[in-house]
Each structure stands twice: as structure tokens, then as C-alpha cells.
Amino acid sequence: MLTKKQHELICFIADRLNESGVSPSFEEMKEALDLKSKSGVHRLISALEERGFLRRLPNRARALEVVKMPERAEVKRSAAAAPARTPPAPANDVIEIPLHGRIAAGMPIEALEGATMLPVPAALLGAGDHYALEVSGDSMVEKGILDGDYALIRRTETARDGDIVVALIDDNEATLKTFYREGTMIRLDPANRSYDPQRYDSRNVRVQGKLAGLLRRY
């Protein structure tokens, strides 16, 4: 069962694809659904993807494909039964994601929460819900993650060995490191020979997301 906003969005996207072959911009979707920010659109699209109604074509901004329509819309939208043709992908579409303060790439520091939004090129983000953190420190420089970069994080609570993750330690400190399991322990590796790995009891570490991309301003 879709929410009212999810239902409105899938119908709006399908209508636009049938009319022009081009999916609407995030700004157009935001206005059509009377949402306050584009991040709300991004969350709705991610939810529709997870439920199998939408597919976001990889490496192409604004390339959405309607996989199926909700049952209540089938009569009204009988033409939507055929798969939507792949639309062209205009460049420079931008998504606003929450910017939650600074995160240590050295020793853990408190993860600050804030209401600031960061505009990010949609092509840098894949499926899922995302947020951004400003990197503080130099312990990940050998992975190309520099002080002042914006780490784009996909929300998840699971990780595999070798993933670069945001790890929350003791529920109040966060750090950006490479994740490894060692029995009942978690090892968080820096990418700078000047720093030592950090080891914690697995009960004291929670994964808050995985690195999806970097944004750097010059």
C-alpha cells in the first residue's frame, strides 16, 4: 500500500513520461506535491524504488522508469501498462540532502545535527536515503578523503569488511573509517600511516551509513 504522496508522485511521473518522454525535475516534483524541499522528493522516490514501482537508471540524472503502477491508478492510467521508454538525461539536476555537521576523519568527535541542506548533483547519488557530513581531519587522506570535503553518506545500519562507514561510538561520537570485524570486536582503520586502527566492542559501535561519494569545493 502506497502513501498518498507516493501515489501522487508515481502518477505525476508517469503522466510526464507519457506526455514528453522526459521525467520531471526534482523542482517540478516538489512543486506538484507541495513539498517543502527536494529531499522529500528524494525520499519518496527511494521508497517507490524499494517497493518496485520506480527504477532509477544508473549514472544518468533525472532518468526514471516507471516499472508498474499502483492498482488504484490502473483504470485511469491504462496507457501506463506498457513500460515507459527510457528518457534522455538532462545534466545538472540537483538534490538537496541534509548536512549534519562535521565528522572526524581522525579521532572521533561528536556528530553534530543541523537543519542545513546541501545541494548535490543527482548523478553522485544512487538509490536510498542520503545525508552529508563535512570531513574534519586527515586520517583518510590515502583514500582521497581530505579535510573540508563533504562526505555523501547512504543511510544503512549494515556494512561489510572494507566498506568506508560512518561509525557511531557509544551513541555520541562519530568517525569516518574503513570497517572490519574481528570476532566480537570492530576495527576501524584510518587511511593515514600516522594513525593507528581503533578497536571497539561491537556492542559499542553502530553503523550509521556507508560512503557513497565525495563533494569538494575549491
| Statement: residue 61 has pLDDT above 80 | no
Q: Is 24 a member of any domain?
A: yes
The pTM is what? 0.56
Please identify which residue in the block is written with the cell numbers 547519488.
125
The verdict on 148 and 174 lying in the same domain is yes
Cell match 565528522: residue?
103
Query: Where a domain ends, among 52, 81, 110?
Result: 81
Distance CA 120, CA 58 (A): 16
Q: How far apart are the first and last CA of the chain?
A: 45
Q: Which CATH number belongs to the domain containing residue 71 in this structure?
A: 1.10.10.10
Residue 116 is part of a domain; what is its CATH number? Answer: 2.10.109.10
Q: Are 116 and 65 contained in the same domain?
A: no
pLDDT confidence bin for 73, thresholds 50/70/90: very low
Active site residue 25: no
99 and 70 in a common domain:
no
Sign for the CA dihedral angle at 217, 46, 143, 197 comes to positive
Is 139 one of the catalytic residues? yes
Which has the minimum average pLDDT: 90-99, 142-151, 206-215?
Answer: 90-99
Q: Residue 190 falls within a domain, yes or no? A: yes
Q: State whether 211 and 104 are in the same domain.
A: yes
Contacts for 105 with CB less than 8 Å, ≥ 6 apart: 135, 136, 137, 138, 139, 140, 141, 145, 147, 175, 176, 190
Tell me the average pLDDT of the chain: 79
Q: Which of 39, 139, 143, 210 is catalytic?
A: 139
The pLDDT score that the predictor gives to residue 161 is 95
Lowest-pLDDT range of 56-65, 106-115, 180-189, 196-205: 106-115
Q: How many domains does the chain have?
A: 2
**How far apart are the C-alpha atoms of 176 and 157, rounded to whole Å?**
14
In this predicted structure, the answer to whether residue 146 has a pLDDT above a threshold of 80 is yes
Full residue range of the structural domain in which residue 109 is found = 95-215
- Final residue before a domain boundary, out of 54, 81, 108: 81
* pLDDT score recorded for residue 201: 94
At which of 81, 116, 147 does a domain end?
A: 81
pLDDT class of 210 with cuts at 50, 70, 90: very high
From 30, 143, 177, 210, active-site residue: 177
**Residue 87 belongs to a domain:** no
- pLDDT tens, 171-180? 778 899 999 9
Nearest alpha-carbon partner for 113 in 196, 174, 44, 160: 174
